[in-house]
Amino acid sequence: VESFPKPQLGEPKELQSLKMQSVQESPLYLSLTLAELLKKDTIKVDLIPEKKGLFLKHVEYQVTSERFTVSVFRRYNDFDVFHELLLQRYAYRVVPALPPKRVLKGEREFIEGRRRALGRFLNLVARHPVFSEDELVKTFLTFSGSDVQTKLRDACKKLGDEFMTCKYATQAKDYLPADVQSQFSSSRELIRNIHNSFQKLRDRAERMAERSKENATDLLMFGKELSSLGSDESPVPVLASCKSPWAALRRSVKGLSVEFSLLSEKAAQQGRREEDDVVDKLNLFLDLLQSYRDLCERHEKGVLHEHQRALQKYGVMKRQMLSATVQPKEQVSVEQLESRIVQQENAIQTMELRNYFSLFCLHQESQLIFTYLPITAHILGAFVDSQVQGHKEMGEVWQDLHSKLNSLFGDGNGQSPPLSPK
């Protein structure tokens, strides 16, 4: 009897790893970690006030990319054109919104808030797995010529929208899971809840940072009032019943303003840390979450709506065609109708392909949001560190002040002893 070699199926663990490998190799799935996204680039946006003419004042920004090791100068209108072209090219991706152009609050406060928002916008774009490799982004971050807007528009015309250039666009349906719609619905609901919670966290963090700044102002004013009190050199009347120690006491009180000035400085530093390390990071994630919600609306109002409208138009044409065959008309009009039906069928096919590609991108962008979620740990760590550092620094100054009070007025508790006649 002829024997045949026994097939080697491999160990179950090896089969499982092969299965995992095939999932990871699918273009639908993102394999990047948060650390890898954050390492892609860090963009710094600095303010450069520039005066033109007697009355008009323009604001210019210096944009510095760590990845490209270059600095360029941009105005808000440049950001506006860049954002518009990104949306044209990547209608199916999370494109963060720009801050408003018009001044809504005090000018200085508004301009600083807009600078921060533009920095967040660029960092989210430069770290996006798809945008980061795009010619548009590279042009905005590196082109130092005189007309960056024309350069950006030319680049966009050459590239077209993502559906026309992505090699997976027409095959997107093949990669989508069977339950993609239910996955999208559940992801959308969860991300909406996360967004609402993070908005509340941000609002509380903003209030804490504002309180730190108000505390800094109050401490400084407290010290100034003490200094003013101690600087009053009016003669102290000698009363019959006692000899007042106020002349010596007010000189000591004046010296305490130094410690209160230092406390004010520490409180202001605490407020800045809370803004930079906590509030701004919360705003970064909120910008991303909001752009995801905007994307979901674009998907439903854009691709799905256009697809449904095309199907309705197709239905009308088919009914007209049936009517034309039942009631014969001129041969030319029937042929024209047939041609239009073929064109509409092609349009519907393109719409269906775009719809599947939109779902493909939505699936990837949902993964991107969940990849960013561990930033929560970064934010909480920064929040705790800022509080520990702030309390430590202010505690040291308060302790010095306590010791100084003891040496000046000393009754062991830093309190002035009761005045008694001598």
Neighbours of 127 (CB within 10 A): 23
pLDDT, position 382: 94
- Give the range among 61-65, 221-225, 333-337, 354-358 with minimum mean pLDDT: 333-337
Displacement of CA 148 from its chain's centroid (Å): 24
**DSSP code for 236:** P
Displacement of CA 229 from its chain's centroid (Å): 48
pLDDT, position 79: 97
Is a pLDDT exceeding 70 seen at residue 104?
no
Is a pLDDT exceeding 90 seen at residue 141?
yes
Is a pLDDT exceeding 60 seen at residue 8?
no
How sure is the predictor about 241, in pLDDT bands with cuts at 50, 70 and 90? Answer: low
If phi > 0 it is left, if psi is from -120 to 50 it is alpha, else beta; for residue 421 that is beta
Is a pLDDT exceeding 60 seen at residue 109?
yes
Is a pLDDT exceeding 80 seen at residue 369?
yes
Residues 6+ apart with CB under 8 A from 108: none
Q: What are the angstrom distances between the C-alpha of 95 and each of 213, 268, 350?
A: 33, 34, 23
Question: Which ranges in 299-374 belong to alpha helices (H)?
Answer: 305-326, 331-372
| Helix-strand-coil split of the chain, %, nearest 5 | 70, 5, 25
**DSSP code for 304:** I
Whether 383 contacts 205, CB under 8 Å: yes
How sure is the predictor about 343, in pLDDT bands with cuts at 50, 70 and 90? Answer: low
Q: Which residues pair with 62 in a beta bridge?
A: 46, 73
Does this model's pTM top 0.85? My answer is no
Mean pLDDT rounded to a whole number for the chain: 83
Token pair of 230 as six digits: 């101690």
Q: What is the mean pLDDT of residues 3-21?
A: 50
pLDDT, position 421: 41
Whether 29 contacts 367, CB under 8 Å: yes
Is a pLDDT exceeding 90 seen at residue 114?
yes
pLDDT, position 130: 96
pLDDT, position 233: 79
% of the chain with per-residue pLDDT over 90? 56
